[in-house]
Chain A
Amino acid sequence: MLMWRCTKMDFSEAADRISRKFSKSGQTVDSKKIEGKLRRLIEEFGVQPSEAERSVTNELNKEFNIPAMGPGGSAGSGGAGSSGTAEKKIADAAPGEWVTIEGKIVALAAPASPAIAQGGVIADDSGAIRFVAWAKANAPVMAQGSWYRIESAVVDEFKGIASLKIHSGTTIKEIEEDRALMPSTVPISGLHPGIGSIRAKVVQEWDASHERMLQSGLLGDETGTIKFVIWKEPGKESLAPGSVYNIFYAQVDEYNGRLSLNLNTAMIMQEEGDIAVSGGEAAVSGAIVHIAPGSGIIKRCPVEGCNRALSRQNYCPVHEIQPKFTYDLRIKGWLDDGKKTHSILLQRDVVESLTGISLDAAKEIAENNPLGMDEVFLQMRDKVLGRYITCHGREIENRVLVNKCEPVTFESEKHMALLNRAGGAS
């Protein structure tokens, strides 16, 4: 049902594919005409789309006296004529295509719906792709680590992520030999939605924001950084901050234009060595238009490795009451350039240099002023709100973690340039 709907819209794509195939061998065909033929076969005659495409292709083959295309490729045992779809390397499989591939099941995941029998990741030496076997397909159950030849599966796309759909027309054969498969890693900046392998360092670990979340944080390499998450599942372990890992076949998701990695499907191997992580550095200038509550002087949980901000009552969400807290400074706020507003988080040394209030001075105020910690907030707000500053730091999820900032100063060159611009054409 779903297949039908997807493919129905893809007449023109299939038609283009066919006409491309023939134009490669020097023939000109009318893709509108092909589209019409496909439409007729599929809509009027209820022919399976793959079959329709094959039949139109073969009809044209005959017309041009080209021998009918079998599955082709190296695997001779496949039996000629068993499939009309092209044998592909996984990396070449494009959405909308009917393909035959040979690959190794490198990950299996719990099906998200009863309509799905099996899901996971299949890889060959060119790349990897997610797959879904529909329950209705009655496909044999595939085992992780084994190689399979999958004939006539469909590549489709959901939210920009390609996946291989195994349906009732797909044949699956296990390949006995165990072929060597070494995934190749890509730089983080080269990841795109789907499946990706990287070598990266854990640069940050964040508080779990969901009870099912085992760990989330930030991975980085020389080219950039990416958010990662590991969901709680038996056998899953957290990554150690500061360590370098080879991560094979992670799921690359896209949300609001940002990529993130889900490591639950991934093969993860810690390794020696270090990576000089690129900043993903951003510099944003603008006016500070808001200082959020929780800015100023705060108390942090003293438990080794925790460091969470405590509530007013010295309560840590994990370690409960902590009377022996440590003090820290931070400013959370919004920096606005008139077009976009960036969330900013200033760390202690940045706060000290921007406000001129040191941690010791703030402590003194917090402990002796009748308003306590609020007084530190108010003094800092009065010093920075409405001021123009430039912040340098790493931008993650629209928040700039500021490691350096300086006030914007008046530049007469800019003033002159604007006078010229404003006076120029009037």
Chain B
Amino acid sequence: MSTPAREMGRKDASFEREPARRVFASELRECRYQFKDGEDEKSPTFVLLPTGERSNRIFIVGTLTEKTRQGDQNIFYRGRVVDPTGTFFIMAGSYQPEAMQQLAKIETPAFVAVIGKPSLYRKDEASAPMVSVRVESINVVDKETRDLWVLDTAERTLDRIEAFAAGTAPDIVKAKEQYPTIDPVTFRKIAYDALAQIKI
């Protein structure tokens, strides 16, 4: 009783890391809505998936098919990572030196695992928003890891679709508002096709 409970807990004020969501390229491509959770400069930014889940970080495994080095003063790398449903656009700049060095080293094509932060940007005022993934880490993996990721991502996608229909969670409601023309059931077909591409 000499020490309040508050003080005891302080040192391990448990930090919850944002989980890395599993999403296929064709769903991520549809994202148009991005928001901040909180007023702080450091509050995390989320992209809202059409299936009704917020995503501050994603984990993808696919084939790195292309990478290009850009910029003179501020070097950065762009790359394309292909999954069975489409293409992720990834980039790593000087603010992610470790990720940039990893990406620079990888010879295309290669199976890669990417942990990164999705964000929306527009080329110019007139164009539609694009989703790109700022790489935190990228690493070469094997085909089995890619196959495991397809299973994992299909499962999570189906979970989201099932939660969506009757869902009243705030993020699901927001997704229904923000993406009135998207029927998440289309992602069920996409998940099926992705699964069917894995050779048994």
Q: Are B189 and A109 in contact (CB under 8 A)?
A: no
Is chain A's interface secondary structure helix, strand, loop, or mixed overall?
mixed
- Cβ-defined contact, B18 with A341, below 8 A: yes
Output the least CB separation between A150 and chain B (Å). Answer: 17
Interface of B is mostly: mixed
Contact A388/B137 with A159-B5, A253-B5, A262-B3 known, Cβ cut-off 8 Å: no
Q: Which of A161, A338, A382, A422 contacts B19 (CB 8 A)?
A: A338
Closest Cβ–Cβ distance, residue B162 to chain A (whole Å): 9
Give the most central of A253, A336, A398, A426: most B CB within 10 Å. Answer: A336
- Report whether A386 and B19 are in contact in the complex, using a CB–CB cutoff of 8 Å: no
For the complex, what is the distance from the CA of A425 to the CA of B188, rounded to whole Å? 9
Asked if B139 CB lies within 8 Å of chain A CBs, one says yes
Stretch among B32-40, B125-133, B190-198 lining the A interface: B190-198
CB distance from A42 to the nearest CB of B (A): 30
Chain B: interface size category: 35 or more
Residue of A nearest to B143 (CB): A410
Q: How many whole Å from A376's CB to the nearest CB in chain B?
A: 16
- For chain A, the count of residues having a C-beta within 8 Å of the partner chain is 57
The verdict on B141 contacting chain A, using a C-beta distance below 8 Å, is yes
Contact of B139 among A255, A337, A382 (CB under 8 A): A382
Give 5 closest A-B pairs by Cβ, nearest first.
Answer: A386-B113, A109-B1, A255-B9, A422-B192, A253-B5
Given contacts A254-B5, A386-B113, 15 further A-B contacts (CB under 8 A): A109-B2, A161-B5, A255-B5, A287-B20, A289-B115, A338-B19, A338-B152, A338-B156, A341-B19, A341-B20, A382-B140, A388-B148, A410-B147, A418-B195, A423-B192
B contacts, CB < 8 Å to A: 1-5, 8-9, 11-14, 16-22, 57, 59, 61, 112-115, 136-137, 139-141, 144-145, 147-149, 151-152, 154-156, 158, 185, 188-189, 191-192, 195-196, 198, 200
Contacts from A to B (Cβ < 8 Å): 107, 109-110, 112, 119-121, 130, 159, 161, 209-210, 212, 229, 231, 233, 251, 253-256, 260, 262, 264-265, 287, 289-290, 334, 336-341, 343, 381-382, 385-388, 397-398, 408-410, 412, 414-415, 418-419, 421-423, 425-426
